[in-house]
Amino acid sequence: MIRSKEKLDCELQKDYTFTIQAYDCGKGPDGANAKKSHKATVHIQVNDVNEYAPVFKEKSYKATVIEGKRYDSILRVEAVDADCSPQFSQICSYEIVTPDVPFAIDKDGYIKNTEKLNYGKEHQYKLTVTAYDCGKKRAAEDVLVKISIKPTCKPGWQGWSKRMEYEPGTGSLALFPNIHLETCDEPVTSVQATIELETNHIGKGCDRDTYSEKSLHRLCGASSGTAELLPPPSNTANWTAGLPTDNGHDSDQVFEFNGTQAVKVPDSVVTVNMKEPFVISVWMRHGPGSREKETILCNSDKTDMNRHHYSLYVHNCQLVFLFRQDPSEGQSYKPAEFHWKLNQVCDKEWHHYVLNVELPTVTLYVDGVSFDPFPVTEDYPLHPSRIESQLVVGACWQEYTENENDTEKATEAPAGCWCSSS
């Protein structure tokens, strides 16, 4: 029987090899007559026990990624195990201990993101990672992994504002004290910059102080039959007197519609024949917000049926023009509702909208650029009726039987809608 003289350690020596020989009990002087066997070689392999836990090579790991990208691999963590056998010395798996993070780790220690990262949501993630050997023994100490998120680099001027507030008589004002040029570490050979100042009003520059809407009509050769729906309040035109304004010049009045007020336009103001081509022109500034229908102008029945003959409104940042054709045109389907999906409708900037109605075609011009409607839906013409209609700016008129006249108020966006129309 072979016994060890001391405890064996696989990590110090995995196996031993030595030679043995047997002797019989033959007698003689000094055992000279003893017989010997052939020599034999003995191999002893020391079996391993899982006494060591995995240990990470680094005390911590860190990496930096750019937002908005999916990476196949961001970084690799690596652990080792001091056990001597493949069963216990190999690392079989890694695990991210931190819950609810958009990262995953594979069996080789490579970490990747499972969704696009957003710098605005999180600047840095701190993950705790552990490792297991093939005997399912966990790392003695978990490791910390820091992953920093960088915003997408966009070359250009940064640190400036499109809007400046200046009070006359207050001296000089630095326009862009914090402006800097972001180059995204790319070489720059030359820089050229142009600054253009303009008033955030209906017109631009000093023209708004010089020309009224009527003057502009004359300068541009507008038709003599042009009807101004929102004139500056006067003794002869007082229906806009109660509307909030921007306190601008009387020659260039601007009115606010925020969903709580509207104005009825007197019947004598609009006398055009809707069977003939006509144009609707409006300056408007409108911001994002409400998903409800927001009426700009609407012509509907004064009593009883409350039918809408024509209207212009905003819905989900789309500009929509409704026009129900005259019943004398027949009872077949006709183009009735024209839609335009435009960024200008909800960018909270002033734009000039001109609607050229020449049925069956309706063309929209925004700041002089034409846009065709899409989609266009059809409907039957209205049934013949002797009911008079009411034109309203900011809402649609409705009358309820045996009740006082009331208006269906348009639900304007919280940002408000400033208009000057004709």
Report the share of the chain in percent with pLDDT over 70: 82
Question: Strands 60-66 and 143-150, how do they pair?
Answer: parallel
**In this predicted structure, what is the pLDDT of residue 247?**
57
Q: Which whole-number Å values give the CA distances from 125 to 56, 98, 122, 133, in the listed order?
A: 20, 10, 7, 26
Q: How far apart are CA 109 and CA 131, in angstroms?
A: 9
**In this predicted structure, what is the pLDDT of residue 403?**
47
Region 2-24: mean pLDDT is: 79
- The per-residue pLDDT for range 101-152, each reduced to its tens digit, is 999 999 999 999 999 999 989 999 999 999 999 888 999 999 999 999 998 8
Can you give the pTM of this predicted structure? Answer: 0.49
**In this predicted structure, what is the pLDDT of residue 55?**
93
Per the structure block, which two tokens stand in for 67?
């937002």
Q: How far apart are CA 420 and CA 342, in angstroms?
A: 20
Confidence of residue 76 (pLDDT cuts 50, 70, 90): very high
**In this predicted structure, what is the pLDDT of residue 249?**
47
Confidence of residue 217 (pLDDT cuts 50, 70, 90): low
What is the DSSP track for 81-99? ---SSHHHHSEEEEEE-SS
Per the structure block, which two tokens stand in for 304?
């009883």
- The per-residue pLDDT for range 257-284, each reduced to its tens digit, is 888 888 999 988 887 677 788 889 888 8
Q: How far apart are CA 318 and CA 12, in angstroms?
A: 78
- The per-residue pLDDT for range 358-408, each reduced to its tens digit, is 988 999 999 889 999 989 998 887 877 788 889 999 998 887 655 444 444
pLDDT score of 157 more than 50: yes
**In this predicted structure, what is the pLDDT of residue 83?**
86
Q: How far apart are CA 374 and CA 363, in angstroms?
A: 11
**In this predicted structure, what is the pLDDT of residue 409?**
38
**In this predicted structure, what is the pLDDT of residue 165?**
79
Helix (H) or strand (E) holding 111: strand 110-113
Confidence of residue 202 (pLDDT cuts 50, 70, 90): very low
Residues contacting residue 192 through CB under 8 Å, at least 6 positions apart: none
**In this predicted structure, what is the pLDDT of residue 128?**
96
pLDDT score of 5 more than 50: yes
**In this predicted structure, what is the pLDDT of residue 371?**
95
Residues in the chain: 422
Residue that has been written with the tokens 């010089």 in this structure: 210
pLDDT score of 62 more than 50: yes
Region 55-60: mean pLDDT is: 94
pLDDT score of 209 more than 70: no
| Average pLDDT over the chain, rounded to an integer | 82
pLDDT score of 181 more than 50: yes
Contacts 24+ apart (CB under 8 A), 318-323: 318/342, 318/345, 319/345, 319/353, 319/364, 321/280, 321/355, 321/357, 321/362, 321/364, 321/373, 323/274, 323/357, 323/359, 323/362
Per the structure block, which two tokens stand in for 297?
């102008």
Per the structure block, which two tokens stand in for 314?
């905003």
**In this predicted structure, what is the pLDDT of residue 211?**
52
Confidence of residue 212 (pLDDT cuts 50, 70, 90): low
